[in-house]
Structure 1
Amino acid sequence: MTSQNTVPAPHRQTPTWDVGDIVVRRIEEVELPPQTGPWLLPGATPDVVAGSPWLQPDFAGADRILRLASHTFALEADGLRILVDTGIGNGKNRANPAWNQLRTDYLARLEQAGFSPETIDIVVLTHLHTDHVGWNTRSHEGAWVPTFPNARYLATRTEWDYWAAADMDEARTQMFRDSVHPIDEHGLLDLVDVGADGLEIASGITLVPTPGHTPGQVAVRLSSRDSTALITADCIHHPVQLAEPDIHSHVDIDPAQAEATRRELLAALADTGTLLLGSHFPPPTAGLVRTHGTNYRLHPVPARLA
C-alpha cells in the first residue's frame, strides 16, 4: 500500500447533517488508497461488487474496487462538543505504509468547522484500533501530548480490558504508547460500562454495543426530536456489507460475532428514517438503509455544506 501523505488543502466547506437539534459534521482526514479495499474486505471481489451496481460510482470505482476513507464526526449536542473517533494521526510510525508518518491537514479542517481542539468536551473512542485513535495525541517538544486537553476521552471497559490482556505485536504496542497511554497518563481517559441497552453520555447521544470487530466496540446513536442517526464505527466498514452482510473484515477479532452484530443492526435500521453515518464510507458518507431483495442497499443522503 502506498503512502497517503498529503499537503494542507485550502479552506473548504464541511459536510454537515442535522439530526433534530444535533449538528453532525464530517471532518475529513484522508481518502484511503485503492489497495485498502481488497486488503480490508477480501470477500468484496470485483465480481461481488458488480452484483450491486448501486455501489458505483460513489462507493466503488469503475474498476469495481471499493473506495474507503478516514474521517471523524464532530457533534454539537446539548451544549456539548463531541468528537467521535480521532482517525490515524500525523507523524506516527505505523506498519501500514498508508498510515505511516502522515502529514494531513486534519486539525485545520477541524478548526475550519469551528471545533478548535481546546473546545472539545468529549472524545468517543468507538474502539482502540490504530485508525480510530491517532489524533488522540500530537507531538509537542518531542513528546506525545493530548490533542484535546480539556476533553474526557471515553472508551469501554470491555475494550480496555481486552487489549490490556492481549499479547500485542510491536506495531500495536507502539500505537498504545503514542496514542492511548498518554491520555491515560494525563488523567483524561474514562472507562465506561455499556450495557445491552446502551449508555447515554449526553442528551440524545448513546453508545450502543456492537461487538465482533473488537470485543468492546460501540456505535453511536443520535436522537433529537423525531430524528435519529447511527455512526457505525467498524461494525460496517463499507456499503458493500449491506448488500453482502457476510463479507468480513480482515481485522475482525470475532468474524462470526461481527456478522451477527451487522445483521441485527441492519434489520433494525431497514426501511426506517434513521440516518446511517459510515465511519469509513467515502462521500456521500450517509444514507438510509433500504430493503433490497434478501438484503439491503444504501440510499444516499447528501450533506449540506456549512
Structure 2
Amino acid sequence: MRIPDNEDRLRRPARIRSLRVGDLRVSYVPDGVVKMVPRSLFPATSDETWARNSRYLDSSGWLTISAGGLLIENGERAMLVDVGYGPFTEPVSMMEHGMATMYGGSLLDSLDRLGRGPHDIETVAITHLHIEHLGWAAHPATGESEPAFAHAAYLVSQREWDDRRTTFGVTEEVAAALARRVRTVADGDEVFPGVRAVALPGHTAGQMGYEVTSAGERLLAFADVLHSPVQVAHPDWAIVGESAAEESAGLRREVLGRLADEGTIGFGVHFADVPFGRVRRMGDSFAWEPLA
C-alpha cells in the first residue's frame, strides 16, 4: 500500500526545504540522519504507545531524527544555525545509546544546491555542543586540513562552552578545533540582521535557540527543545538523559504555546522531513502543521 506523502514525510530524512520569513529566506540544509529506537529516546513510552503512533515509525520501527542546519539568507549575506554530523557517510551503529544508526556527509552538497559555498557563511551558530549539531564546524572535508567553516565565527553560549568537556561527543580534539573560532553569545543578542539568540536551557544547560524576524513575520529555531513531531502532541514525554524532566516539559509547553499563540513558524532541526511548521492548539495539547 502506498503511503501518502504527507505521512511519509514523518518517517523519512529531511530534504532541502525553503520558505520566506519576511525579506529573509530560510532553508533546511540536510546532512544526514539518526535512526532512534523509540523507547530508548522516550523511556516512559511503551509498545502500546508506539502502536498508536506508528505513522512516525519507519519500516524497521525506528524514529527518523534528521541532522542538518538552518541556512538564513539576507541578500548576499548568509549564516547557519547548526552544521550537522559532519563528513561521516557510513552509517555507524550506536545501539548502546539507543541509536540504531547515525550518518552525515551531505551538508556541503546541500549548500551547493542552494547556491551557497562554505565561504559564503559568515557565522555558524551552534545551538548546543552535541555531535550532530557541530560536525562540520570541527571536522574537515576529505582532503582538507581545516574544517569547512573555519573562516566563520562560531557562536555558542558561555554556559555551553564552559560545560564542553562533559558534553556528549566533544572530545579534546573537537574542543581544540572549535576553540580558536568560538565567540560566546547571550540571550537577546542580535547575531545577524533579523536574528537574535534565545536561551532555551533544558536539553543542555546552555542550549540556545535563534529567532528570525523580518517584515512582521517570525520563526523560532527551537534546537532540541523537541526532537520529533510526535512530541508536539506529547510535550510531557521526557527524552533519555534529561536531568530535569519537569523543567524540560515546562519549557516544551511554553515554546509550543508561544508558537501557537503568536503565529510564529517553528523550525525543528530533527523533525524528519517536516522541519518547518506551525503549531495549533488542540484542547490541552498541540498539533504540528508542516510548511514548505
Q: Give the TM-score, by structure 1 length.
A: 0.79
> 2:81 matched to 1:84?
yes
Which of residues 184, 191, 199 is equivalent to 1:201?
191
Letter in 2 for 1:163: R
Alpha-carbon distance in structure 2 between the residues aligned to 1:106 and 1:116: 10
**Superposed displacement of residue 278, structure 1:** 0.5
Q: 1:132 and 1:162, CA in 2 relative to 1: closer, same or farther beyond 3 A? A: same
CA contact 1:232–1:276 (8 Å) conserved in 2 = yes
Question: What secondary structure, in the 3-state scheme, does the structure 1 residue paired with 2:67 have?
Answer: strand
**Superposed displacement of residue 28, structure 1:** 1.1
CA contact 2:93–2:102 (8 Å) conserved in 1 = no
Which of residues 93, 96, 121 is equivalent to 2:94?
96
CA contact 2:34–2:102 (8 Å) conserved in 1 = no
Which residue matches 1:3? none
Structure 1: which 5+ residue stretches go unaligned?
1-12
Q: 1:135 and 1:247, CA in 2 relative to 1: closer, same or farther beyond 3 A? A: same
CA contact 2:33–2:104 (8 Å) conserved in 1 = no
Which of residues 239, 248, 251 is equivalent to 2:238?
248
CA contact 1:156–1:193 (8 Å) conserved in 2 = yes
CA contact 2:84–2:107 (8 Å) conserved in 1 = no
Q: Give the TM-score, by structure 2 length.
A: 0.82
Alpha-carbon distance in structure 1 between the residues aligned to 2:260 and 2:272: 21
> 2:180 matched to 1:180?
no
Letter in 2 for 1:276: G
Which residue matches 1:269? 259
Aligned-pair Cα RMSD in Å: 3.0
Letter in 2 for 1:70: A
Which residue matches 1:47? 48
**Superposed displacement of residue 143, structure 1:** 8.4
Alpha-carbon distance in structure 2 between the residues aligned to 1:141 and 1:62: 32
Which residue matches 1:158? 159
Question: What secondary structure, in the 3-state scheme, does the structure 2 residue paired with 1:284 have?
Answer: coil
Which of residues 14, 17, 20 is equivalent to 2:16?
14
Residue pairs, 1:187-226, within 5 angstroms = 187-194=180-187, 198-226=188-216
Alpha-carbon distance in structure 1 between the residues aligned to 2:264 and 2:33: 26
CA contact 2:141–2:148 (8 Å) conserved in 1 = no
Which residue matches 1:7? none
> 2:58 matched to 1:66?
no
CA contact 1:37–1:68 (8 Å) conserved in 2 = no
Structure 2: which 5+ residue stretches go unaligned?
1-14
Q: 1:78 and 1:252, CA in 2 relative to 1: closer, same or farther beyond 3 A? A: farther
CA contact 1:209–1:218 (8 Å) conserved in 2 = yes
Question: What secondary structure, in the 3-state scheme, does the structure 2 residue paired with 1:32 have?
Answer: strand
Which residue matches 2:34? 32
CA contact 1:83–1:124 (8 Å) conserved in 2 = yes
**Superposed displacement of residue 99, structure 1:** 9.3
